[in-house]
């Protein structure tokens, strides 16, 4: 026999008066307003602090200059253009993939058992991917895009030598090691570089001569010596007395004098095309625009999928049924009815996702590292800077002045984001008439 | 007839391509899991490392001197501390704001509050990191002089500000999904708005609120740029938010910023930390999704 459940104790004493409950209600409203005001106050405070700190360096020069050691000359040009390149890659890759996945999930629910299980799993998985920290995507990008699982050797300073690929204003291209930078102009940049090529030796280049310089990783050095020998190796060490020691990939050391070298070239990556042209490709991608963009694409893909699914779900079923009744195939219905009707929602979601990509720093930090970049990318294989990374770099420096430069960078970043969001809001307002 | 067949074939092809795009999301997950497992395995087979130390030692000193220690707890502790501070800010204030927006706020106020929250949600985290370092920390130092330049408190508060809009918008959705009839029934018994909101609507939407909490906590655990800027770089086992701590994400940033070689032990250790981080956030989001799915079934 089970015992009867105990009856709840009846409220004793006077019943709670209407008045005291009204007082409680009003008190709660006050708490609510204070709490709600908090977010507005924080936002105002944040914006005010950034405008106050950042106003000093907000000039057109800030958008025209490259980063510099002197705060007054520091600029955002490389970061701004780097962000544009990387985000464009991310958007171009992620938006079609996201919409395609959303269509499959919403419009083509499978009937058989195994595809149905897969369908369910993809749904669950998309939700989980949205919750994966972005720095973890950075690790994925580093392994898959930057290194390609090390299948082509790893761009690791222990195996690769870091060199500069310098293009001169005369059109000449030099591959050489940086030995020393000399002098300092008023922008804090060196006035000349001393570089060394194993064949041509030391050479001083005035800053005015240099059109641009890119960092390359040389994996293999091939020397032709004056006695006809060919020497191929992975790692290069140069001593002060002109001796070159090559360490081959097998670990063998070969030493010869630099004066004996008649020809020299390096191979970096498996590459197609001219590194100066737009159509230049290489594998692995290294810490390039393409690697960064693809990584960001993975970060925003779940966001686009979720937003697109919601937009597609909002299309009334009657539209689909009408089209099906007229004899349209299922794909025809999607292409001619569902997609046009859900396009505003999809676009809004995509724009918001892309603006998330503009502000993402952590995955790019893992993929590309924070490097001092003083050029605008020319192709997908160039190194890149990015706005949030540059801000991170400036904000983390101990000098007070660079904090201000960071705030100026934030102002530019927020302005770009605001422009994106304005477009999204306009789209939403313009197309948000409910479908009948 | 032939045209029709070609069309059929073409449509099959298109649907196949769409399916391939969907499968890519699975490949992403498998890629993450595979890479983390493999690199973590390589980390654990290194002679300096032992699995037991990783899970039971309380010292994380990968870069100091000859004797290295790899006990994950100081990093977990830093992460938990920052997340706890953020939760103290985001969870209560987020929920109260959500209740206000859903039950009380007049249209005029809503028109101000909603965009403000949307803007807060859209601000990049590196900006919050700057805010923590350049605004919150100096302000807190004026209140309490013992607060260090890098500290868990201001980093946690900034993370809380970042996660506040997540709690608010997801909780508000849940509260709004509660059917009107429930509210009207309560009003009919003479309840005040306060009674209706807290004793009827909130319990009915509880699963949605819990899901929003879990997702916000998951975001806080994985937040990187704020802690990298404001929390410091010293892995310590402490619950004092005034001093500097290092979180799991903060350690990863330190490694990837540095010049460590890709086969090195510090480098591999960051993968082990990433694996632990991934498991933590995965569990949180999985529970969140599960709770959310259940609540959706109730009111649709």
B contact residues 246-275, partner A, Cβ 8 Å cutoff: 249, 252-253, 256-257, 259, 261-263, 271, 274
Lowest mean pLDDT among A103-107, A202-206, B19-23: A202-206
Is the entire prediction scored with pTM above 0.95? no
Instruction: Give pairs for B251-254: CB < 8 Å, separation 24+.
Output: B251/B60, B251/B75, B252/A135, B252/A139, B252/A366, B252/B224, B252/B277, B253/A135, B253/A362, B253/A365, B253/B224, B253/B225, B253/B228, B254/B228
Residues of chain A neighbouring B256 (CB-CB closer than 8 A): 138, 142, 365-366, 369
Query: pLDDT: is A269 or B252 the higher one?
Result: B252
Residue A2 pLDDT greater than 50, yes or no? no
pLDDT computed for residue A375 by the predictor: 77
Q: Is the peptide bond before A284 cis (omega within 30 degrees of 0)?
A: yes
Contact assignment for A359 to B15 by CB distance below 8 Å: no
Query: pLDDT: is A350 or A280 the higher one?
Result: A350
Query: What six digits make up the tokens of B25?
Result: 């999301």
For B208-231, how does the pLDDT look when each residue is reduced to its tens digit (9 = 90+)? 999 999 999 999 999 999 999 999
User: In a 10 Å sphere around its CB, with 0-12 CB exposed, 13-18 middle and 19+ buried, how is residue A192 labelled?
Assistant: middle
- Residue range(s) occupied by CATH 2.30.30 in chain A: 161-268
Residue B193 pLDDT greater than 50, yes or no? yes
Contact assignment for A331 to B278 by CB distance below 8 Å: no
Contact assignment for A366 to B100 by CB distance below 8 Å: no
Percentage, residues of chain B above pLDDT 90 = 54
Query: pLDDT: is A138 or A198 the higher one?
Result: A138
Count the Cβ atoms, other than its own, within 10 Å of residue B35.
20
Residue A276 pLDDT greater than 80, yes or no? no
Lowest mean pLDDT among A96-105, B75-84, B186-195: B186-195
User: In a 10 Å sphere around its CB, with 0-12 CB exposed, 13-18 middle and 19+ buried, how is residue A296 labelled?
Assistant: buried
d(CA A16, CA B253): 57
Mutate which: B217, B224, B264, B285, vs A, most A CBs within 10 A: B224
Residues of chain B neighbouring A51 (CB-CB closer than 8 A): none
Residues of chain B neighbouring A36 (CB-CB closer than 8 A): 96-97, 100-101, 105, 109, 113
pLDDT computed for residue A436 by the predictor: 45
End-to-end CA distance of chain B: give it in Å, rounded. 44
Lowest mean pLDDT among A11-25, A50-64, A315-329, A375-389: A11-25
Phi-psi region for residue A7, left (φ > 0), alpha (ψ -120 to 50) or beta?
A: beta
B31–chain A nearest CA distance, Å: 7
Nearest to B43 by CA among B66, B62, B30: B62
φ, ψ for residue A328 (rounded to 5)? -75, 145
Report yes or no: B193 at the A interface, CB cutoff 8 Å: yes
Q: What is the mean pLDDT of the segment spanning B5-32?
A: 91
Say if residues A225 and A262 touch (Cβ distance below 8 Å): yes
Place of tokens 């079609």: A96
Query: pLDDT: is A131 or A7 the higher one?
Result: A131
Contact assignment for B263 to A156 by CB distance below 8 Å: yes
We find that the CATH architecture of domain A161-268 is: Roll (2.30)
Count the Cβ atoms, other than its own, within 10 Å of residue B11.
16
A359–chain B nearest CA distance, Å: 5
CA A13 to the chain's CA centroid: 65
User: Which residues 6+ apart lie within 8 Å of B154 measured at CB?
Assistant: B132, B133, B136, B137, B140, B147, B230
Residue A81 pLDDT greater than 70, yes or no? yes
A contact residues 350-379, partner B, Cβ 8 Å cutoff: 352, 355-356, 358-362, 365-366, 369-370
Q: Which residue of A has its CA nearest to B4?
A: A329
> Among positive and negative, which fits the CA dihedral A50, A51, A56, A60?
positive
B224 closest CB neighbour out of A50, A134, A406: A134
Dihedral, CA of residue A230, residue A232, residue A238 and residue A244, to nearest 10: -30
Residue B256 pLDDT greater than 80, yes or no? yes
pLDDT computed for residue A170 by the predictor: 82
B contact residues 10-69, partner A, Cβ 8 Å cutoff: 11, 14-15, 17-19, 21-26, 28-29, 31-32, 35-36, 39
| A109-128: b (≥16 Cβ within 10 Å) or e | eeeeeeeeebbeebbebbbb
A224–chain B nearest CA distance, Å: 30
B67–chain A nearest CA distance, Å: 23
d(CA A140, CA B275): 12
Question: Domain A62-145+287-431 sits in which CATH superfamily?
Answer: MetI-like (1.10.3720.10)
pLDDT computed for residue A395 by the predictor: 92
pLDDT computed for residue A154 by the predictor: 53
Report yes or no: A403 at the B interface, CB cutoff 8 Å: yes
pLDDT grade, residue A268 (50/70/90)?
Answer: low
B256 closest CB neighbour out of A356, A358, A365: A365
Q: Which residue of A has its CA nearest to B13?
A: A331
CA B150 to the chain's CA centroid: 21
Residues of chain B neighbouring A136 (CB-CB closer than 8 A): 32, 36, 222, 274, 277-278
Nearest to A410 by CA among A66, A72, A78, A47: A47
Which element (helix H / strand E) includes A413? helix A400-431
Residues of chain A neighbouring B164 (CB-CB closer than 8 A): 39
Q: How many CB pairs under 8 A join A and B?
A: 252
Report yes or no: B122 at the A interface, CB cutoff 8 Å: yes
Query: What six digits make up the tokens of B154?
Result: 């201001």
Lowest mean pLDDT among A89-103, A252-266, A376-390, B139-153: A252-266
pLDDT computed for residue A370 by the predictor: 66
Which element (helix H / strand E) includes A231? strand A230-233
- Residue range(s) occupied by CATH 1.10.3720.10 in chain A: 62-145+287-431
Q: What is the mean pLDDT of the segment spanning A295-314?
A: 95
B32 closest CB neighbour out of A136, A362, A417: A136
SS (H, E, C) chain B: CHHHHHHHHHHHHHHHHHHHHHHHHHHHHHHHHHHHHHHHHHHHCCCCCCHHHHHHCCCEECCCCCCCEECCHHHHHHHHHHHHHHHHHHHHHHHHHHHHHHHHCCHHHHHHHHHHHHHHHHCCHHHHHHHHHHHHHHHHHHHCCCCCCCCHHHHHHHHHHHHHHHHHHHHHHHHHCCCHHHHHHHHHCCCCHHHHHHHHHHHHCHHHHHHHHHHHHHHHHHCCHHHHHHCCCCCCCCCCCCCCCCCHHHHHHHHHHCCCCCCCHHHHHHHHHHHHHHHHHHHHHHHHHHHHHHHHHHCC
pLDDT computed for residue B226 by the predictor: 96
Report yes or no: A29 at the B interface, CB cutoff 8 Å: yes
pLDDT computed for residue B213 by the predictor: 95
pLDDT computed for residue A152 by the predictor: 66
- CA angle, B232 as apex, B227 and B238 as ends, to 5°? 95
Query: What six digits make up the tokens of B228?
Result: 């990298």
Which element (helix H / strand E) includes A163? strand A161-168
Lowest mean pLDDT among A134-148, A278-292, A404-418: A278-292
A101 closest CB neighbour out of B25, B192, B286: B25
pLDDT computed for residue B300 by the predictor: 44
Q: What is the mean pLDDT of the segment spanning A106-124?
A: 88
Per-residue CA distances from A328 to A313, A335, A338, B8, B295 (Å): 19, 10, 12, 12, 36
pLDDT computed for residue A351 by the predictor: 92
């Amino acid at each position: 026999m089970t015992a009867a459940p105990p009856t709840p104790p009846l409220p004793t004493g006077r019943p709670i008066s209407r008045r005291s409950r009204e007082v409680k209600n009003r008190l709660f409203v006050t708490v609510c307003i204070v709490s709600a005001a908090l977010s507005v106050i924080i936002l105002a405070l944040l914006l005010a602090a950034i405008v106050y700190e950042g106003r000093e360096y907000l000039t057109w020069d800030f958008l025209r200059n490259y980063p510099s050691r002197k705060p007054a000359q520091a600029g955002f040009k490389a970061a701004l253009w780097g962000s544009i390149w990387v985000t464009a890659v991310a958007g171009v890759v992620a938006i079609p993939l996201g919409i395609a996945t959303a269509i499959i999930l919403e419009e083509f629910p499978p009937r058989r058992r195994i595809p149905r299980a897969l369908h369910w799993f993809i749904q669950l998985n998309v939700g989980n991917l949205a919750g994966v920290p972005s720095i973890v995507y950075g690790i994925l990008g580093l392994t898959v895009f930057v290194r390609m699982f090390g299948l082509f050797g790893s761009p690791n300073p222990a195996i690769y030598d870091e060199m500069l690929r310098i293009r001169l204003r005369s059109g000449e291209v030099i591959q050489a090691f940086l030995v020393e930078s000399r002098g300092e102009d008023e922008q804090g940049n060196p006035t000349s570089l001393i570089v060394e090529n194993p064949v041509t030796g030391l050479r001083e280049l005035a800053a005015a001569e240099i059109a641009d310089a890119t960092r390359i990783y040389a994996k293999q050095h091939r020397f032709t010596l004056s006695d006809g020998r060919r020497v191929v190796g992975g790692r290069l060490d140069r001593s002060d007395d002109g001796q070159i020691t090559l360490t081959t990939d097998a670990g063998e050391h070969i030493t010869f004098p630099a004066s004996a070298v008649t020809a020299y070239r390096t191979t970096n990556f498996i590459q197609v095309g001219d590194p100066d042209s737009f159509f230049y490709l290489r594998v692995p991608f290294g810490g390039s625009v393409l690697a960064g963009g693809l990584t960001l694409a993975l970060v925003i893909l779940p966001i686009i999928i979720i937003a697109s699914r919601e937009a597609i779900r909002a299309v009334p079923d009657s539209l689909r049924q009408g089209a099906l009744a007229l004899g349209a195939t299922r794909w025809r219905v999607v292409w001619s009815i569902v997609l046009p009707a859900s396009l505003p929602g999809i676009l809004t979601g995509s724009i918001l996702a892309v603006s998330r990509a503009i502000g993402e720093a952590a995955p790019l930090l893992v993929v590309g590292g924070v490097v001092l970049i003083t050029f605008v990318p020319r192709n997908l294989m160039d190194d890149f800077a990015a706005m949030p990374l540059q801000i991170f770099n400036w904000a983390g420096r101990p000098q007070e002045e660079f904090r201000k430069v960071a705030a100026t960078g934030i102002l530019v970043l927020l302005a770009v984001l605001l422009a994106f969001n304005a477009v999204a809001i306009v789209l939403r307002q313009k197309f948000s008439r409910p479908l009948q | 007839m032939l045209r029709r067949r070609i069309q059929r074939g073409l449509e099959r092809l298109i649907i196949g391509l769409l399916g391939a795009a969907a499968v890519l999301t699975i490949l992403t997950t498998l890629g993450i899991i595979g890479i983390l497992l493999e690199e973590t395995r390589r980390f654990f087979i290194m002679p300096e490392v032992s699995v037991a130390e990783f899970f039971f030692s309380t010292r994380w000193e990968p870069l100091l001197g000859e004797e290295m220690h790899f006990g994950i707890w100081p990093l977990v502790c830093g992460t938990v501390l920052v997340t706890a501070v953020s939760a103290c800010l985001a969870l209560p204030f987020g929920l109260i704001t959500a209740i206000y927006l859903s039950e009380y706020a007049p249209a005029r106020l809503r028109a101000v509050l909603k965009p403000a929250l949307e803007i807060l949600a859209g601000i990049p985290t590196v900006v919050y990191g700057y805010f923590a370092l350049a605004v919150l920390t100096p302000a807190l130092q004026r209140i309490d002089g013992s607060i260090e330049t890098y500290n868990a408190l201001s980093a946690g508060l900034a993370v809380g500000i970042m996660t506040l809009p997540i709690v608010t918008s997801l909780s508000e959705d849940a509260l709004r999904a509660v059917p009107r009839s429930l509210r009207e029934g309560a009003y009919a018994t003479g309840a005040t708005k306060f009674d209706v909101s807290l004793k009827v609507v909130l319990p009915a939407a509880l699963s949605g609120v819990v899901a929003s909490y879990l997702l916000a906590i998951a975001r806080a655990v994985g937040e990187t740029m704020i802690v990298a800027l404001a929390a410091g770089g010293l892995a310590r086992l402490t619950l004092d938010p005034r001093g500097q701590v290092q979180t799991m994400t903060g350690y990863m940033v330190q490694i990837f910023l540095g010049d460590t070689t890709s086969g090195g032990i510090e480098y591999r250790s960051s993968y082990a930390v990433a694996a632990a981080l991934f498991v933590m956030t995965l569990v949180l989001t999985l529970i969140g999704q599960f709770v959310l799915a259940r609540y959706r079934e109730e009111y649709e």
